[in-house]
Amino acid sequence: MWTFIYLISFIIAIIANILCLPFLVRILAEKNIIFTLVKEGTAVAIMGTGDSGFQRLLSCFRGKTLNAKTWDVEDAVTTEETWLQWGIKFFGLSGVRYLGIPGMQSIHRYKFKWNSLLQSDQTGAENAGGIYFKPHDEWLTCVLLQEDVYYARVESAEDADMVPLDVDVTLRIQIVNPYKALFQAQEWLEMTFAIVIPSLRRFISTKSWKNLSGDLDQHEQDYRDSIQIYLDNMKNNYGVEVIKFHIIRVKPGGASAADYEAAATKAFKATNEAKSICILAEAERDRIGKVYGKIKEFDELGQIIRRLESLEKAAAGPGNIIIAAPELMALASSVMQIGQQRPTPTPTTQTQNQGG
């Protein structure tokens, strides 16, 4: 009897320990003891004691895996899910990875600076003339494998007319080899911008502000084509792929920025005003052609009607309107002449009408 009770108690204890094991692993992973927790879309570099030397990389990126020899990001081979994989997912341990013996391995930490765009003026945001961004300067333990957007401003870049321009740009970047990005470049983002910004200044110096403010998509493509060889070098040697280069805005910069913008606004208004005048003149020309064409068809009667309409509008105007007597006498004389020219009915016609 007691043997059976002991057996049942032993089985219950084993089941309880198994059920508690995932929670214990999770706690240890959060404290980087034996296990570590890798966030989705990132990779973590495992080093020797005290960050003494690189050992391996751990990643968690759905649909992607790391080549164990080159550390390139590759598409994962799709296979049927095993019971172990199902159990890991069921207990919420998908991001848990084995770290190593406590005190013998550590996670690589590095300092990283970048600017992220914001939708509005939020806490800690900086305002770049209507473009909001947040500067970051943090110690990180992982490298992002997902695509991300990084913001930068090129200040006082002179165009072909020596006008200083501030150019706001973004780079959409993806790390395709985290080992190269972390250990073959001092700071991979700083190195990327060290290529992009000076070359962008040279590109702007060959264009005018008016031209740059036009077809931005074409300028983006032309600029990217001019530095494509350097971008390929960044991808192959440092594992950093620039997927998209985007010009957000081009505007005058420096101390004379307000003067340049005021002059441009004035020129814009003058151009629009000239266009409006041309449109109104064209419409008035068509109206005159139609109105006076009809007046010409009615000869003297049409002219009299037009003069009467003008007098009517003048009388409706503000203030005292004085109409000269000769004008009225001329109108009366014209009406009498038209009346005399009209044929009068003959007696024969009247008799026939009465007889009818």
Q: How confident is the model at residue 349 (pLDDT cuts 50, 70, 90)?
A: very low
Same domain? For 101 and 198 the reply is no
- Give a yes or no: residue 140 inside a domain: yes
Q: How confident is the model at residue 337 (pLDDT cuts 50, 70, 90)?
A: low
Q: How confident is the model at residue 334 (pLDDT cuts 50, 70, 90)?
A: low
| Tally of CA atoms within 13 A in the half-sphere of 52 that contains its CB | 6
Minimal CA–CA distance to 21: which of 34, 39, 9?
34
What would the pLDDT profile of 7-62 be if each residue is shown by its tens digit?
Answer: 677 677 777 666 777 888 888 888 999 999 999 999 999 999 877 889 999 999 99
- Give a yes or no: residue 274 inside a domain: no
pLDDT of residue 336: 55
Same domain? For 101 and 121 the reply is no
- Give a yes or no: residue 282 inside a domain: no
The domain boundary, picked from 53, 84, 107, lies at 107
Q: How confident is the model at residue 110 (pLDDT cuts 50, 70, 90)?
A: very high
- Give a yes or no: residue 78 inside a domain: yes
Domain with 96, as residue range(s), is 2-107
Same domain? For 121 and 228 the reply is yes
Same domain? For 12 and 53 the reply is yes
Answer whether residue 140 shows pLDDT above 60: yes
Answer whether residue 115 shows pLDDT above 90: yes
Same domain? For 27 and 49 the reply is yes
Same domain? For 203 and 229 the reply is yes
Q: How confident is the model at residue 119 (pLDDT cuts 50, 70, 90)?
A: confident
Is the pTM value of this prediction over 0.75? no
Same domain? For 100 and 178 the reply is no
pLDDT of residue 194: 92
Q: What is the rounded average pLDDT of the residues 228-252?
A: 92
- Give a yes or no: residue 326 inside a domain: yes
Q: Where are the alpha helices (DSSP H) in the chain?
A: 2-30, 83-90, 178-183, 188-204, 209-212, 216-238, 257-297, 299-315, 325-341, 347-355
Answer whether residue 351 shows pLDDT above 80: no
- Give a yes or no: residue 348 inside a domain: no
Distance from C-alpha of 253 to C-alpha of 349, rounded to nearest angstrom: 91
Answer whether residue 307 shows pLDDT above 90: no
Q: Residue 176 is part of a domain; what is its CATH number?
A: 3.30.479.30
Tally of domains within the chain: 3
Percent of the chain with pLDDT over 90: 34
Minimal CA–CA distance to 47: which of 101, 105, 110, 97?
105
Q: How confident is the model at residue 352 (pLDDT cuts 50, 70, 90)?
A: very low
The domain boundary, picked from 57, 73, 107, lies at 107
- Give a yes or no: residue 268 inside a domain: no
What would the pLDDT profile of 197-235 be if each residue is shown by its tens digit?
Answer: 999 999 999 888 878 877 778 888 889 999 999 999 999
- Give a yes or no: residue 234 inside a domain: yes
Q: Can you tell me which residue has the tokens 């095993």?
A: 82
Q: Which is higher by pLDDT, 43 or 283?
A: 43
Same domain? For 124 and 103 the reply is no
pLDDT of residue 198: 92
Same domain? For 38 and 124 the reply is no
Same domain? For 133 and 92 the reply is no
pLDDT of residue 52: 82
Answer whether residue 285 shows pLDDT above 80: no
Burial 18-55 (b: 16+ CB within 10 A, else e): eeeebeebbebbeebeebbbbeebbbbbbbeeeeeeee
